[in-house]
Amino acid sequence: MNQQRISALQLFYVIIGFEIGNKLIFGGGQPAKQDAWITILLGMLFGLILMLIYVKLSDYYPGDTLIQMIPKIIGKYLAYPIILYYLLYFIFLASTACRDFSDLIYTTILTETPMPVVTVSFMILMIYCLRGGMEVFARMGETVFPVYIISLIVIWILLFTVKDFSISNLTPILGNGVKPVLKEVFPVAITFPFGETIIITMFLPILNKKHHARKVGMAVILIGGILLIINTMINIAVLGPEIYSRDPYPLMSSTRLVSIADFLERFDALVILMMVAGVFFKVGGWMYGASVGITQLFNIKDQRSILLAISTIIVPLSFLYSNNYVEARGVGLKFIQPYQHIPLQIIIPILLFFIAFIRKKFNKNSYRT
C-alpha cells in the first residue's frame, strides 16, 4: 500500500471528510451558546498553526510517516513508547467514531436492530474498502465527499424555511463574556476536530506531488472551519442558543423542524446519509493510520491481515468504553482530551518540531564547517 499514490485533490477530499465528518452532526461550542461559532473560529486559527507544524515535520522527513520520523528525531528507544501511544490512540478513536455512528443509527432509524449488527456491518464495509488499498479509499472519497457536501447544502437551504429561524438568536455576541468562549476553545475546539488532522502525517508520504502538501493542509483547515462555522450559526438561528447548548445532535434536531407546506417532512434522512459518509472518512482515516503504523513498527508486509486484526479490536472496544452518549461525553472530557488529544495532537508534535528544527539547523551548520 505504501507504493500507491494519491493526488492532492484526493488527499483533500479524504482529510476534510475526516475532519468535519461527524463534527457537523454533533455541532460544537455548545457551552458558549450563541457564541459557539466564535469558539470554532478561534479553534480554526490554532488549527492552522498545528497544520503548519504537521506539514513542516513531513518536510523535514519527506517520505516518512509520523511513525517513521519519530525514531529519527528522538532515537528509537524513546520513540517506541510514543509510537505505541499513537497507535493505540488511532485505534481507540476509530472505536469511538464507530460507537457514535451506531448510537445515532440505532436511536433514529434502526431502533429494532441490535447495535452490534450496525457496527459490524459498517466495519465489514470499511475493511472491504481499505483492503483494496489507499487508492481505492481515495477514489471512494472522490465519490462520497461531493454527496456529503450536496446533502449539507440542501439541508442548509431547507433550514432557512423553518419558521423559527431567526438571526437574532446569534445575539448578543459575547453576551456571557469572553470566559465561556476561551474555556471552550482550549482544548475542545482546537483538538476536535482540527487537532485530529495530525492523521495527515500518515498520508503525506503517498501524495504524488509533495509540494502541494501545505496547500492541501491549509485548505482542509480553512474550508472545514468555514463549513463548521456556517453550520453552527444556522443551527443556533433555528434552535436558539439554549436548546443548541443542550442538544447532542443539533443538526438532526434542526432538520426535523423542516416542513414544507405541511407535506414535505422528515429530511433528517439526509443527516443520516451525512453521518454514514462522515464516519466512513473518520474510521477509514484512523484505521489506515493504525495499520500503516503497525506494519512499519513491526516490519510486517501483509497490511491486509493487520486491518482485519484492528477491526476485531475496534468493534468490541466501541461498546466497552461507554454505555451511552452521556457517558461517552464524560470519557471524552475526562480522559480523551487531557490524556490523548492534548499530548498527541499538540505537545508531542510541537516538541518533535523544535527538536527536528534544531537537528536540521545543527546538521546544516556542521556541513558548512
CATH numbers and ranges of domains, the chain: 8-353 (1.20.1740.10)
The span from the CA of 238 to the CA of 230, in Å, is 12
CA distances from 78 to 64, 177, 296, 354 (A): 18, 44, 17, 16
248, pLDDT greater than 80: yes
Q: In this structure, are residues 29 and 326 in contact, taking their beta carbons and an 8 Å threshold? A: no
Rounded to two decimals, the pTM is 0.93
Q: Degrees (nearest 5) of the Cα angle 127, 219, 279?
A: 25
Please state, as a whole number, how many other Cβ atoms lie within 10 Å of the Cβ of residue 103: 20
pLDDT in tens, 124-169: 989 988 888 888 899 988 888 988 899 899 999 999 999 989 999 9
367, pLDDT greater than 60: no
Average pLDDT (21-30) is 87
Region for residue 133 given its phi and psi (left: phi exceeds 0; alpha: psi -120 to 50; beta: otherwise): left
Peptide bond into 187 cis (omega under 30): yes
Residues in the chain: 369
Q: In this structure, are residues 257 and 79 in contact, taking their beta carbons and an 8 Å threshold? A: no
The span from the CA of 232 to the CA of 341, in Å, is 23
| Lowest pLDDT segment from 85-99, 166-180, 249-263, 285-299 | 249-263
Task: Give the per-residue pLDDT at 366.
Answer: 59
The span from the CA of 283 to the CA of 92, in Å, is 10
How far apart are the two ends of the chain, measured CA to CA in Å? Answer: 41
Task: Give the per-residue pLDDT at 1.
Answer: 43
For residue 65, the SS3 value is coil
Q: Which of 24, 15, 40, 6 is nearest to 271 (CA)?
A: 24
265, pLDDT greater than 80: no
2, pLDDT greater than 70: no
Find the DSSP H helices in the chain: 8-20, 23-26, 36-60, 66-74, 76-108, 115-131, 134-159, 179-184, 190-191, 213-239, 241-246, 250-255, 268-298, 303-320, 325-331, 348-368
Beta bridge pairs of residue 260: 264
The span from the CA of 5 to the CA of 247, in Å, is 41
CA distances from 20 to 220, 227, 228 (A): 9, 8, 7
Average pLDDT (320-344) is 85
Task: Give the per-residue pLDDT at 322.
Answer: 79
Average pLDDT, the chain: 90
Please state, as a whole number, how many other Cβ atoms lie within 10 Å of the Cβ of residue 306: 18
The percentage of the chain sitting over the pLDDT mark of 90, rounded to a whole number, equals: 65
C-alpha cell of 355?
527538536
pLDDT in tens, 197-216: 999 999 999 999 899 999 99
